[in-house]
Amino acid sequence: MKLNIFYNSLPTDNISVFCDGSCSPALKRSSAAFLIPALNVSRSWTLVPGSSILSAELSAIDSSLSFLYRAHEVYKSIFVFSDSKSAIQLLSSNGHSHPIAFNVLNTINLLKVRGISVSLVWIPSHVGILFNEQVDALARQEVISPSIQFENHLSFAEKILVVKHKLQSLFHADLYSFPSFHAKHRKKIGPASYLNARSRKISVALHRLRSGHNHLNSHRFKFDPQCQSPNCRNGCNAQENANHVLLICPFFDRERQRLRLLFTRLGIPFNLKNVLCLNDSIDKNSLLNIHYALSSFLIASKLINIV
């Protein structure tokens, strides 16, 4: 292994540090670790919530250099090994915008004043480099069972993300308090191409069908004295609601054919939730196809002028 040869060939007045970060989206936690084999020193810690993997990698480098700075040992140079290309690239270019990168660059300068140079060396991860594997295991173990909590500063981008996630969860909590399923079916906020059409008329019709607040007899009958019956205007002995006109009413059988065939082809149950694209577990492409077929059906059946 070339790196092992390189590492073993370093002069004795140099010191090597192995750094790594780890991130678990499931646990919403980031951790970092460093290992200095020559001193038999290792440390691991957990970063504040919202810290990215980049922050974890930078934190590992930052703490290892601060440790060596405080140790007051005299080395000619420090070799920092990290498998994070983005951390090294950020430090090599202009890392001043990131608070942890700023600290790293500051410590590098302080070490320089003492006559100690710092070299950042990228190493590929998981290729059997012993010390890198060890520091990787340390960081991963820290994610699973945190030992020390660091109070690092979040970068501007991380702060924005924290606020965004907070707003998302507040928005979702608000949506989930509504009784109708059309309001709370989505797991994400933001526009979805299968929920809106380019034509405003179609978009309005789709939202009316999803919410149940439409001009079909079943709903109109509740408040419009001119509406004589909640039943289907085509003579069916059934309430005229979204379920009836979209899925059942034989009056629209011919226009409905393409939509039905699509569901047979996709192998998805032909029910209201699926037809109105309110089932997030269906893949996005299929939802888009359903959306187009439904829009065509609304136009062909002229239901677009009724709902």
Residues of span 72-111 touching Zn ion by CB under 5 A: none
* Near Zn ion by CB under 5 A: residue from 86, 89, 229, 234: 234
Q: Which residue has the tokens 């501007």?
A: 156
Complex with Zn ion: residue 143 or 307, whichever CB lies closer: 307
Q: How far is the CB of 184 from Zn ion (least distance, A)?
A: 29
Residues of span 237-266 touching Zn ion by CB under 5 A: 249
Complex with Zn ion: residue 87 or 209, whichever CB lies closer: 209
Complex with Zn ion: residue 146 or 230, whichever CB lies closer: 230
Complex with Zn ion: residue 236 or 282, whichever CB lies closer: 236
Name residue 35's beta-bridge partners: 18, 42
Please tell me the count of residues contacting Zn ion according to CB under 5 A: 4
**Farthest-apart Cα atoms in the chain, separation:** 96
Radius of gyration of the chain (CA): 30
7 in Cβ contact with 16 (< 8 Å): yes
Complex with Zn ion: residue 154 or 232, whichever CB lies closer: 232
The pair of three-digit structure tokens given for residue 148, joined into one six-digit string: 């020390």
- 41 contacts: CB under 8 Å, gap ≥ 6: 35, 67
Write out the H or E segment, with its range, that includes residue 46.
Answer: strand 41-46
Between CA 38 and CA 184 the distance in angstroms is 57
Q: How far is the CB of 244 from Zn ion (least distance, A)?
A: 6
Complex with Zn ion: residue 270 or 292, whichever CB lies closer: 270
Between CA 20 and CA 28 the distance in angstroms is 17
CB atoms within 10 A of CB 196: 14
Complex with Zn ion: residue 58 or 205, whichever CB lies closer: 205
* Near Zn ion by CB under 5 A: residue from 91, 232, 298, 303: 232
Tell me if 47 contacts Zn ion by CB under 5 A: no
Q: How far is the CB of 270 from Zn ion (least distance, A)?
A: 16
The pair of three-digit structure tokens given for residue 176, joined into one six-digit string: 């989930």
Q: Considering only 44-52, 107-115, 224-232, 281-289, which stretch makes contact with Zn ion by CB under 5 A?
A: 224-232
Q: How far is the CB of 196 from Zn ion (least distance, A)?
A: 27
3-state SS class at 292? helix
Q: Considering only 107-115, 236-244, 270-278, 291-299, which stretch makes contact with Zn ion by CB under 5 A?
A: 236-244
Sheet holding 117-122, edge to edge: 41-46, 29-36, 14-24, 77-82, 117-122
Q: How far is the CB of 191 from Zn ion (least distance, A)?
A: 33
* Near Zn ion by CB under 5 A: residue from 236, 282, 299, 304: 236
Going by their DSSP bridges, the two strands 29-36 and 117-122 should be labelled as unpaired
Residues of span 138-157 touching Zn ion by CB under 5 A: none
Candidates 171, 186, 242; CA nearest to 209 is: 242
Contact residues for Zn ion, defined by CB under 5 A: 232, 234, 236, 249
